[in-house]
A = this chain, B = another copy of it.
Amino acid sequence: VPTQPRVTINDVAAAARVSATTVSHVLSGKRPVAEETAKRVRKVIDRLGYTPGYAAQTLQSGSTRVIGLLVPDLTNHFFAALAMGVENAAHGLGYSVVLGNTCFDAERERRYLQMIRQRAIDGLVYAAGTPPAPDELRRFASGFPVALADEEIPGLPAITAVADHRAGGELAGRHLRLLGHRRALVIGGPPELRSSHDRLAGFRAEFDGEIVLHIGDYQEASGYAAVMAQSERDAGDPYTAIFALNDLMALGAMRALRAVRRRVPDDVSIVGFDDIPTAALMNPSLTTVRQPAYLIGSTVAEELVRSLTGEVAHTPTRHVLAVELVERESTSPTGRDRSVTPNR
């Protein structure tokens, strides 16, 4: 594909018989231009199809109008939705988003921080998911605008947006309590994650029955394992409810419940967290706490960009966004047990 010689501001100026300065001002409006002149210039601009070159503007202004987005795994629905939020918000404000997929890999993260040093981006939305925030990032964040999405990094005050994990735990706990459940199996997440901790604390605050805690790792298999392990241990008086700290583990738990012949929701109710697309498609569909992934992304991106443009000061605001309980088929009141109905 041959690249035809670029139309520059000087071409326009020459054709309109004005100076480049005037053309620039017609476009930017930063100083008055006689209407007649302006009209002539605009006509030429249209005719020649002139658009200010990105590189020159960048060099001149020192701003690329690009922000970076670091996510660990785009195929994770949560991060995909978050990325859409970031992209939409940024685009609405005239900024582009360059994508960085870290794959939870520190080496790749470093390559992105490199871009920062090159001044190739104006700011960074960091949602890299792994708990041990690289020291490097922390160093960078002082001296470079970083915003945290779904993330809290100790010692790094920055624009932040997180879901209200605690309220989500409360929602789940209250829901199960109101359904009459008194014994719950809780499948936890990695303890070092603040989100895990908050969800659990919220649940404990609202669910006043007995709680058995199994630690999982947010993967499907660990949900399965938790139920199986507990199943071996249980002696006749098992839990009637499960709160899994994310949907993937909840699905694993459901699979295990099928294996041990306990029905959902008849024998055991189950609540997840996240609301991944699969949750709605399962049979039975999964009651879960929905995270506002898109909103987390758009909130943080919008605030970051506004701070970049100077519209607002770059102060480390922390947004805590509401979560929502989505009631589906996997939860039901205790005491309703179809195994005692006609077909037996």
Interface residue A231 (Cβ < 8 Å from any Cβ of B): no
A83 / chain B contacts, CB cutoff of 8 Å:
74, 99
Is B96 touching A98 in the complex (CB atoms < 8 A)?
yes
Q: Hey, which chain B residues are within 8 Å of A111, CB to CB?
A: 91
- B1 near A144 with CB under 8 A, answer yes
The CB with the most chain B CB atoms within 10 A, among A4, A51, A96, A115, is that of: A96
A114 and B56 contact, CB distance less than 8 A: no
Asked if B58 contacts A55 (CB within 8 A), the reply is: yes
What is the minimal beta-carbon distance from A305 to any residue of chain B, in angstroms? Answer: 14
Q: Once the chains bind, are B75 and A64 in contact (CB under 8 Å)?
A: no
Which chain B residues lie closer than 8 Å to A54 at the CB level? 58, 64, 115, 118-120
Residue interface mask A81-111, B partner, CB < 8 A = 1? 1011001100100001111110000001001
**CB atoms of A99 and B87 under 8 A apart:** yes
Q: A6 to nearest B CB, angstroms?
A: 7
Q: Does A236 lie at the interface of the complex (its beta carbon under 8 Å from any beta carbon of B)?
A: no
A312 within 8 A of B: no
Point out the residues of chain B lying under 8 angstroms from A261, CB to CB.
Answer: none
A220 pairs with B281, CB closer than 8 A:
yes
Contact mask for chain A residues 1-14; partner B; CB cutoff 8 A; 1 contact, 0 none: 11110100000000
CA distance A114 to B52 in the complex (A): 11
Task: Say whether B283 contacts A281, CB under 8 Å.
Answer: no
For A323, what are the chain B residues with a Cβ–Cβ distance below 8 Å?
A: none
Contacts of A97 in B (CB 8 A): 98-99
The reply to whether A75 and B84 contact each other, CB–CB distance below 8 Å, is: yes
A282 at the binding interface (Cβ < 8 Å): yes
A 277-318 contacts with B by CB, 8 A: 277-278, 281-283, 314
Report chain B residues within 8 Å CB of A132. Answer: none
In the bound complex, how far is the Cα of B59 from the Cα of A56, in angstroms? Answer: 6
The listed residue with most B CB atoms (<10 A of its CB), out of A80, A98, A258, is A80
The answer to whether the Cβ of A214 comes within 8 Å of any Cβ in the partner chain is no
Task: Write out the residue numbers on chain B whose beta carbons fall within 8 Å of the beta carbon of A75.
Answer: 77, 80-81, 84, 277
If A74-B74, A114-B51 touch, does A119 touch B6 (CB 8 Å cutoff)?
yes
Q: Which of A74, A100, A117 counts the most chain B CB atoms within 10 A?
A: A74
Whole-angstrom CA separation of A84 from B314 in the bound complex: 31
> Of all chain B residues, which has the CB nearest A52?
B118
Per-residue 0/1 for A55-76: is the Cβ within 8 Å of any B Cβ (1 yes, 0 no)?
A: 1101100101010010001110
Quick one: closest B residue to A73, CB to CB? B84
| A2 to B307 Cα, complex, angstroms | 12
The residue of chain B having its C-beta at the shortest distance from the C-beta of A118 within the complex is: B54
A209 within 8 A of B: no
A-B contacts, 20 listed (Cβ < 8 Å): A1-B143, A1-B144, A3-B62, A53-B59, A54-B58, A54-B64, A54-B119, A55-B55, A55-B64, A66-B98, A74-B74, A75-B80, A77-B80, A84-B101, A87-B100, A96-B120, A98-B98, A254-B283, A255-B283, A277-B278
**14 further interface pairs, Cβ-Cβ under 8 Å (given A54-B115, A83-B99, A282-B282):** A3-B62, A3-B143, A4-B143, A6-B119, A51-B114, A55-B62, A58-B59, A74-B81, A74-B84, A84-B101, A87-B101, A91-B100, A254-B283, A282-B283
